[in-house]
Each structure stands twice: as structure tokens, then as C-alpha cells.
Amino acid sequence: MEILVIALVFGALAIAQSALLGRLGLRGFSYERRFERRDAWVGDKVGFIEVIRNRGLLLLPWVRVETRVPPSFGFRTREAVDIRGENYHKSVFTLMPFSQVTRRHQVTLHQRGHYTLQMASVTAGDLLGMRSVGVDMEAPAEIFVYPALLGPEAVSRLCSRAQGDVSVRRWIQPDPFLVNGIRGYRPGDPEHDIHWAATARTGQLQVKTHDYTADPRLMVLINGQKTENQWGDLMDYEQEAIERAISLAATMCLQALRQGVEAGFGANMPLDEGEESAWLPPLPGRGREEELLRAFARLRVKRVRRFPTFLEQMPPLRGVDYIILSCYDSEEIRQRMAALRRMGCNAELVLLPEVPHA
């Protein structure tokens, strides 16, 4: 008899809870998420934090939160990821009234990009599975994943394919014997460049500068086409060569900026979902490094115009060193480079090696 009473009471409570869930839904429920950092590098492991709150009086026996995440996100435990053609991150919680749950996941970032998570699907159910309610909620989270920087050997190997590489070489590896000036020390300057006589004379650390003009400016241009006649988008396996070009461009721009040189880049590819060619003119400044890295993260491998057309239509700049990163050479590209030289600029072409398809 007592068991029957307990069963009846439990059933009544479950029915009442189900009715309240249907009436109140997810009132008082909130969901937030964020990355521990807004900027990271390819290969970094970052924290992904979820905060779930129940400010209502109703017990929520189970709440499931699902959201689509990029396939390049590697979660530490596969239990959190349900694979159904795409990657779906799924978390299940039990929430008492006026409670909060915080979960931290570790995510490995395998690919460069600008990732924004927007909507999450939230479903809550009662104790006996008699009723469930669902809603789509805004839960924004954003992270910029910078391209992997290349080491000196990789840079030298890629730039060995430069067509007329005198200008290219001086941006990658300045000649230590050609000293053309002295300037104040900046963090990251090599110790062997310190000019001790000038340091003693001025009372502040001074370093030697090598093989640069008085007011150098660097502009790296990336060709998003694999071949001269390419029309459609590149297949995933074809994008590796372009990704290598983006890494090389980022490496060159950062090295130039860290030596006090104005740097920028352009490409016949858009930023994020735009349809205009990327164009960041050479500028100095401490914040320029982050600005360029975020732009490299946002760069989408999609050709928006033919590369010769991009070269013809880009804003005119005088006295700039242009380095063009391309998978191929062509007469049209050569003609545009000749036009740049007539404007008083240097223009050199670096041919990117073919990346074998596995």
C-alpha cells in the first residue's frame, strides 16, 4: 500500500512538473559561451566555456544544448561532439532552481580562420520524458585563429623560387654586413645588432639597421588562383598551397613590422563573407601587427576577380616594394609588374611550389 501511495505521489509530481514545464517553458533559463581568448594561433589549445543559469523556480531534470561547430575544432573528449555530416557540440545538464552550471572544454584549433558561433538549440524535458520544450537562443562566441608562421628555413626555401629575388631577399634575411643606419632598440631585436659605441654615446640601447631604404614600405600580394584559367572555387585539397602563401605573407609582414618597416597585404580574395578584394595598405604602428593578423585570419580562400585584374585595379602606391606570391607565372602578371616598376616601385614574383595531393 505504501509503495502504491509513493508511486501515485511520484506520478502526480511528475505530471505536475510536466504541466509546469509546458506552461513556463524555459522562462528564467539563460545560456552563455565564450572562448578564453579572442586571438590564437593554428595549433593552439584554448578553453571553451559554457555558463548555464536557471533563475526560475522550476527544476529542469535535463537540458540539452546543441550547436554546430567548425570541423577544424578538435575537442579533447569526443563525448562532447556528435558527428552527423557536420560537427555538433552537445552538452546535457540538470539544473536545480536558482542554480548555475559552468563547464570548460579544451579545443585544439587546427585551421586558420575567423570563427563566430551564433545560435544554439536548447531543449528541456520533464522527469518521465512526457514533454519537452525547445528554443533557439543567441549565444555568440568569436575567435580569430592566426595562420602558422614559417621558420627561416621554410621561408628561404619558398623564396628561392623568386623571379629576381634581390628585393625579396632583403625583406626575409637582411645582409648583416650592409649597415645603413642606427636606431633605438625595440623588443625582439637580436643582441648581435646592438651598436655598443652608439649605446655608450647616447646612454640608450641602439641597434644597427641593414640593407633597407630610408623609408621602406612592403606590400605582399597573394594570388588566390592555382592556375591562370581557374574560374570556380578551389577544392579543399587545392587550398593548401594558398594557405602556405598566407602563412608566408604573414611571416614577411610581421618581420617587416618588427624591424620598423611599414607593411600591408592585398589579395584577390575577400575578408569573411565580403565580395571585395582584401586590401590593407602599408602602415606603421604597434597595433598594425594585430590588425594584419586578424585580417589574415579573416581571409577566405575564394577568388573574387582574376589576379591580373586585381593588380590593375588596386589603389596606386608609389615607392613601395611589392612581393607577389603566386602558384603560376603569366604574361599578364609580368605586364602588371612592369607597370608597377614604371611608377617607381619594386615588384618581384615568388612562385609557390606545388603541394602534392595525398
Which is it for the CA torsion 334, 340, 346, 352, positive or negative? negative
CATH number of 27-146: 2.60.40.10
User: Quick one: cell of 89?
Assistant: 557540440
Q: Which residue has the cell 512538473?
A: 17
Instruction: Give the whole-angstrom CA distance, residue 69 versus residue 86.
Output: 8
User: Among residues 267, 294, 247, 236, which one has the least CA distance to residue 113?
Assistant: 294
Residues 154-166 have pLDDT tens digits of 777 766 655 554 4
User: What mean pLDDT, rounded, does the chain reach?
Assistant: 80
Annotation: CATH topology of 152-174+212-351: Rossmann fold (3.40.50)
pLDDT of 156: 72
- Tell me the residue type at 3: I
List the alpha helices (DSSP H) in 54-176.
Answer: 152-159, 166-172
Instruction: Give the whole-angstrom CA distance, residue 300 versus residue 115.
Output: 12
Domain boundaries, the chain: 27-146, 152-174+212-351
Instruction: Give the whole-angstrom CA distance, residue 274 versus residue 358.
Output: 31
Instruction: Give the whole-angstrom CA distance, residue 51 versus residue 145.
Output: 23
End-to-end CA distance of the chain: 71
Q: Longest Cα pair distance anywhere in the chain, in angstroms?
A: 101
Instruction: Give the whole-angstrom CA distance, residue 44 versus residue 112.
Output: 11
pLDDT of 299: 96
Confidence of residue 327 (pLDDT cuts 50, 70, 90): very high
Average pLDDT of the segment spanning 322-328: 94
Residue 234 has pLDDT above 90, yes or no: no
Q: Which residue has the cell 595562420?
A: 147
Average pLDDT of the segment spanning 259-265: 89
Residues 31-88 have pLDDT tens digits of 999 999 999 999 999 999 999 888 877 777 778 888 888 888 988 765 555 555 457 7
Residues 122-139 have pLDDT tens digits of 887 666 656 667 778 899
Strand order in the sheet with 29-35: 29-35, 45-54, 99-109, 73-75
User: Quick one: cell of 264?
Assistant: 600591408
pLDDT of 77: 62
pLDDT of 124: 76
Average pLDDT of the segment spanning 142-155: 90
Q: What interhelical angle do 240-258 and 288-298 show, nearest 10?
A: 180
Q: What interhelical angle do 240-258 and 152-159 show, nearest 10?
A: 110
The DSSP line for 187-226 is: TT--GGGB-HHHHHHHSS-EEEEES--SS-EEEEEE---S
pLDDT of 210: 56
What percent of the chain lies above the pLDDT cut of 90?
A: 37
Q: Is 348 helix (H, G, I), strand (E, B) or coil?
A: strand
pLDDT of 212: 46
Q: Which residue has the cell 539544473?
A: 95
Residue 6 has pLDDT above 70, yes or no: no
Most confident of 147-151, 198-202, 296-300: 296-300
Residue 96 has pLDDT above 80, yes or no: yes
pLDDT of 205: 83
